[in-house]
Amino acid sequence: MTDPFTSLAGLKRGLLSDQIYELMKSMIKDGTLPPGEQLVESQLAKRMQVSQAPVREALKQLAHEGLVSHVRHLGNFVASYSEEEFMQARAARAELEAIAGRLACGTLSPAVHAHLAALIEQMHAAADSGDLDAFRELDFTFHRSVVEASGNSYLPRMWDIIEPGLRSMHVLGDPSFEGDWHEVADWHRSLLDLLDGDDPAAASALFRAHAAGTLLEDPPADQTR
């Protein structure tokens, strides 16, 4: 298997620490670097064929964003999460998506609408084939796309901070879910329908309920699940 770190091997120009940061952030988000894995600066530098300085800067940035934890006398580790942090991540996601839903309501371009609709159809296809890994990625892409469609440049940055936690704690696409994955896809259709409307408050409420995991318990009035 190809070592993903070698994609930076030999780079001599540009902001190398930024490129290392982006690579490692991507690997944390997709699980290549799982929660709890130790990140040894010298080993990372050797694998990428760079000096330790840009690796050190990248790790500092990742730690600043909460993706890496520094433990005194032990080193750096991919952040892992407690039950309390799980609840905090879910609450943060709910509020972030409530804002994104409110801002995106009534503002979707035809291209963004088509993109979101296509993701929902792909979710149904993934449900048909039982490919829950693909379904999960589509789920993440849908919500990230809505955050980007909000027009607020800070919201995608906030999403990047919480996404690794959402992934590791299965806040989206929980593999233990025993219900109908087609129904989950249909929930996203309800979200898109509200984004096409002219009621930002209703869109915000449904996105909050969806993200908080309360959609089945207490759905907003007059909204189809």
Residue whose pair of structure tokens reads 């997709």 in the numeric block: 30
CB 40 within 8 A of CB 78: no
pLDDT(186) > 80:
yes
Maximum mean pLDDT: which of 59-73, 84-98, 103-117, 152-166 = 103-117
- Torsion region of 31: left, alpha or beta (phi above 0 gives left; psi -120 to 50 gives alpha): left
What is the DSSP secondary-structure string of 108-173? --HHHHHHHHHHHHHHHHHHHHT-HHHHHHHHHHHHHHHHHHT--THHHHHHHHHHHHHHHTTSSS
List pLDDT tens digits, range 44-94.
999 988 999 999 999 998 888 778 888 988 999 998 877 787 788 889 999
CB 50 within 8 A of CB 11: yes
Per-residue pLDDT at 225 = 34
Phi, psi for 166 (deg, rounded to 5): -60, -40
Set out the domains of the chain in order of their start, with CATH numbers. Answer: 4-78 (1.10.10.10), 83-212 (1.20.120.530)
What does the alpha-carbon distance between residue 6 and residue 125 come to, in Å, rounded to a whole number?
A: 34
Closest by Cα among 200, 188, 173, 172 to 225? 188
Amino acid at 144: R
What does the alpha-carbon distance between residue 137 and residue 141 come to, in Å, rounded to a whole number?
A: 6
Q: What is the pTM of this model?
A: 0.68
Which one is predicted more confidently, 117 or 83? 117
Per-residue pLDDT at 216 = 44
pLDDT(222) > 90:
no
List pLDDT tens digits, range 15-53.
888 899 989 988 887 778 888 899 999 999 999 889 999
What does the alpha-carbon distance between residue 21 and residue 63 come to, in Å, rounded to a whole number?
A: 11
Per-residue pLDDT at 217 = 44
List pLDDT tens digits, range 140-149.
999 999 999 9
What does the alpha-carbon distance between residue 160 and residue 11 come to, in Å, rounded to a whole number?
A: 25
